[in-house]
A and B are shown apart, each in its own frame.
Chain A
Amino acid sequence: MTIVRGVVAGAVGYVLGAALIMAIRAASGAAAWEVESVTAGAWLFALTGWLLGVGVWRYWARPWFGRPADTYTTTGWRRYFDFDTDHKVIGVQYLITFLTMFFMAGLFAMLMRYELMGVGEDILNSDQYNSIMSLHGTMMVFVAVAATVGAFGNYVLPIMIGADDMAYPKLNALSFWLVPPVLVALTASFLLGGYDTGWTGYAPLSVKNDVGGLFFNLAFFSLGLSSIVGALNIIVTVITMRARGMTWFRLPIFVWSIFVTAILSLIFTQFVGLAMLLVILDRTAGTVFFDPASGGQPLLYQNVFWFYSHPAVYIMILPAFGITLEMVSHFSRKPLFAYRWAVGGLLGIMGMSSVVWAHHMFTSGMAEALRKPFLASTELISIPTGFIFLSALGTLWLGRIRYTVPMLFALGVLFNFLIGGLTGVFLADVPVDIQLQDTYFVVAHFHYVILGGGIFALFGAIYYWFPKMTGRMMNNRLGKVHFWWMMVGFNATFLPMFILGLQGMNRRIADYTPGLESANRAVSMGGFFLGTSFVIFLANFIWSWVKGPPAPDNPWGARTLEWQIPSPPPHENFEIPPIVLADPYGYGEPGSVHADLGGNGRSESLEEGVQA
């Protein structure tokens, strides 16, 4: 129902917007109909209509007009399809939406790998290849930017800090309901012939391509809105909603990582919005930002875009660091080693992330004098990143390591990200980057960090929090099979890509010189192997959700707050607000207690702990 309302209101908005733009065009003496400007304007109105339709009007805006808001009465599974403000429902909505996007983008990758198996154009011509490659990259980037923050930043973060919900529940719902239009725009771009600019959408190519490209810009723009709203909510939640005693240095490291990510998002997402807006204006309003013939500057786009998109790679990876360190501590049964250094690492990365963007532009024709400073700043960012490894190694050392499925994924993140990060150091070196820029070396680098780091962590998080979210356990053996299959498949796919890049294969091509064929075939085989690993995951995920054995409250014996309440948690999370007594990492410390949950009476050692 909600969705129907949203779609109808969106359609009405679309028509109204289109009419308005056409009227304005006619009034200013231009031809009323022009696809791009009409579409862009209509999109804005459709977006507004959709949001009003899905619930903003009924549950939120009515009082502004002096009418009572509707009371929210949806129950059961229907809540997942409604404008629900419970952070736990929103977390699940995010998770499912972005998993869907991930699998779609993954299937596009399979098509690409099939095409790249041999020399020549087999199943895709260059045009189709470019579209599918662009869509793969764009969707995956969206997944990496928003899936973990959206799903677990929403589901577990408020519980971890002892809150009953986010600071702005309605805004939270709004940020989720901005995501479906993103999917619609991406699908629309695909149906309209796609766009051929890659996920980076460099102008002036992006100004010149077909209407499909416009939808790429609109999709990125809408996702940006969603990110900003979501980030704002998370920041305020962490600042103001912490339970009594939850001081900054008692926060679980996962909360820190999401908090820092949200700050990055709040600051930098504006710039990608701006980059998209400028392209949209060049396309629709006749401006000339990127048209050198009239005084525009193509490099301007790259600067604005990377000023967002480099920090965005940390938006993708910081939550993964948080998840990894969380697992490593709980499953080594040891306090998180050098906790403050790990937090310092997160903050250090945040601080430096705005001064390295031009390392994507070493060969772009930017001022040569800027190469040295950007080389230096980029290499220096290894230092705070290293703190994460410092903390992880120190925690593993002498632990009582339990090889649960989430732990395996966390260890996978450490291994893969190490390779990805170190190859980043190579790319930051200008003489090397001149050769490797825009080759498969870069493709391998970022799959190692985003997929090997970010997405591995996402799957670890799914295995870890699944019992809490659904009240059921996932199958452990299938989980292990999935991990090893994915780990082997991943490395088999992307390790040879480094070699391909070194041998001179450039990115974003459907066809290559014959010398590269055998390595490409190997990569494709690895890719299919990797792809099938997700079949196991999907089977396990769906089957366990429906039929899995009931989960205990705390199947991992972890100490953070979300495990001290029932699985799945009740609507208000805690019976009475918890009081936090220490950080959650007191493993092996006699009498250490993270929090007093009062009425729940779940922590037996509480009495002793309070006296200690």
Chain B
Amino acid sequence: MGNGDHSTTSQTKDRTHSDRQPGRLATVAFIWLLVTVLAEITVAAIEWQPFAASREATISDDAFNLLMVLATPVFTFVIVVGGYALLRDRHRGDDADGPPIRTSRAFIATWLVVTTVLSVVVIITPGFTGLDELRAEPEADLVIDVRAERWSWAYRYADSGVETQGNLMLPINRRVLFRISSTDVIHSFWIPAFRIKKDAVPGQITTTMVTPRKLGSFDNQEEMRVQCAELCGVGHARMFTGVTVVEQDEFDAWLAAAGG
């Protein structure tokens, strides 16, 4: 960069910038590569997400991790290039101005191409591909009507007509369709461990699907909870109940006992 058209000024007392260019560029590129590799290793080593217990969770977490991989070089690029200039190009005593570089075709063109390509990549994957994956299995094995009300959740298992409140029971590896509604204000049906969330809007039925992939309950995993995620008044913070995922036969027994 900086090799655009500019006249070197006689005022500049120290070496003109042009003789330093190639060396600088190589140094910066090297540092950037190094930092990026280190950063990518660190990023990969960190476990960003909490307990993941559903098919949807994998999709969401994979998307997040891929974005991390893509965002890291952008971050390190700005930090390394900026940081290098900040350290090396400090004002040192003399009152001279910097070289009057106003533009650099090569740098601008590269920037434009790289950011555009990156944006498009991000849109396609994990964006569109993730969304398609989320919608890939539209057939439900089990339908549950969720009713939100200030400040509690009520469930109705559509096939058996069983109605419950409090803890939400689900069988493992079955595709569940939630039909969500609200009787007063907007709430949001969120299960952190499943990475699903959908608002409960009065006057509307919204839907979301999930396939639980792990057994567990609120007692051993905090993320196994139905949490209200839309401010709904005083009780908002406390508007959560546990989620329990069990084997199919256990689920059937529970359903029968609950009066199905």
Chain A positions within 8 Å of B, measured between CB atoms, are: 126-127, 130, 196-198, 202, 204-205, 208-209, 292-293, 296-299, 332-339, 341, 363-365, 368, 371-372, 375-376, 379-380, 382-383, 386, 389-390, 392-394, 396-403, 411, 414-415, 418-419, 422, 425-426, 428-432, 434-435, 437-439, 502-504, 506-515, 585-590, 592
- Contact, CB under 8 Å: B119 / A380: yes
Contact with A along B116-146 (1 / 0, CB 8 A): 1011001100111011011100000000000
Some 13 contacts from A to B, beta carbons below 8 A apart, are A292-B203, A363-B198, A375-B131, A394-B101, A394-B103, A397-B81, A415-B79, A428-B127, A431-B127, A435-B64, A587-B98, A588-B11, A589-B9
Nearest-neighbour CB distance to chain B for A197, whole angstroms, equals 7
Chain B positions within 8 Å of A, measured between CB atoms, are: 1-2, 9-12, 17, 48-50, 56, 59-60, 63-64, 67, 71, 74-75, 78-79, 81-82, 85-86, 89-92, 94, 96-104, 107-108, 111-112, 115-116, 118-119, 122-123, 126-128, 130-131, 133-135, 184-186, 188, 190, 192, 195-199, 201-204, 206, 222-223, 225, 227-238
- Contact, CB under 8 Å: B78 / A297: no
Give the residue of A339, A375, A418, A428 whose beta carbon is less than 8 angstroms from that of B78: A418
- Contact, CB under 8 Å: A429 / B238: no
Q: Give the residues in chain A near B126, CB-CB below 8 Å.
A: 429, 431-432
Task: Report the separation of the CA atoms of residues A364 and B201 in the bound assembly, to the nearest whole angstrom.
Answer: 8
Number of A-B residue pairs at CB separation under 8 A: 271
Q: Give the residues in chain B near A402, CB-CB below 8 Å.
A: 91
- Contact, CB under 8 Å: A510 / B237: yes
Q: Give the residues in chain B near A415, CB-CB below 8 Å.
A: 79
The residue in chain B whose Cβ has the minimal distance to the Cβ of A418 is B78
- Contact, CB under 8 Å: B186 / A376: no
Q: Give the residues in chain A near B204, CB-CB below 8 Å.
A: 292, 298-299, 365
Task: Report the separation of the CA atoms of residues A446 and B164 in the bound assembly, to the nearest whole angstrom.
Answer: 38
The residue in chain B whose Cβ has the minimal distance to the Cβ of A121 is B237
Give the residue of A208, A365, A379 whose beta carbon is less than 8 angstroms from that of B206: A365
- Contact, CB under 8 Å: A434 / B195: yes
The residue in chain A whose Cβ has the minimal distance to the Cβ of B193 is A504
Q: Give the residues in chain A near B128, CB-CB below 8 Å.
A: 372, 375
Q: Give the residues in chain B near A298, CB-CB below 8 Å.
A: 186, 201-204
Task: Report the separation of the CA atoms of residues A509 and B103 in the bound assembly, to the nearest whole angstrom.
Answer: 49
- Contact, CB under 8 Å: A504 / B78: no
- With A382-B119, A434-B197: A399-B89 Cβ-Cβ less than 8 Å: yes
Q: Give the residues in chain A near B1, CB-CB below 8 Å.
A: 394, 397
Task: Report the separation of the CA atoms of residues A430 and B56 in the bound assembly, to the nearest whole angstrom.
Answer: 12
Task: Report the separation of the CA atoms of residues A16 and B188 in the bound assembly, to the nearest whole angstrom.
Answer: 43
Task: Report the separation of the CA atoms of residues A228 and B204 in the bound assembly, to the nearest whole angstrom.
Answer: 35
Nearest-neighbour CB distance to chain A for B82, whole angstroms, equals 6
Give the residue of A333, A394, A400, A422 whose beta carbon is less than 8 angstroms from that of B104: A394
Give the residue of B71, B75, B81, B228 whose beta carbon is less than 8 angstroms from that of A393: B81
- Contact, CB under 8 Å: A198 / B107: no
Task: Report the separation of the CA atoms of residues A588 and B11 in the bound assembly, to the nearest whole angstrom.
Answer: 8
- With A398-B98, A431-B63: A293-B195 Cβ-Cβ less than 8 Å: no
- With A130-B236, A508-B231: A434-B11 Cβ-Cβ less than 8 Å: no
Nearest-neighbour CB distance to chain A for B169, whole angstroms, equals 20
- Contact, CB under 8 Å: B101 / A337: yes
Task: Report the separation of the CA atoms of residues A97 and B159 in the bound assembly, to the nearest whole angstrom.
Answer: 61
The residue in chain B whose Cβ has the minimal distance to the Cβ of A375 is B127
- With A398-B85, A400-B89: A425-B236 Cβ-Cβ less than 8 Å: no
- Contact, CB under 8 Å: B229 / A429: no
- With A198-B231, A298-B202, A414-B78: A372-B131 Cβ-Cβ less than 8 Å: yes
- Contact, CB under 8 Å: B108 / A338: yes
Q: Give the residues in chain A near B123, CB-CB below 8 Å.
A: 375-376, 379-380
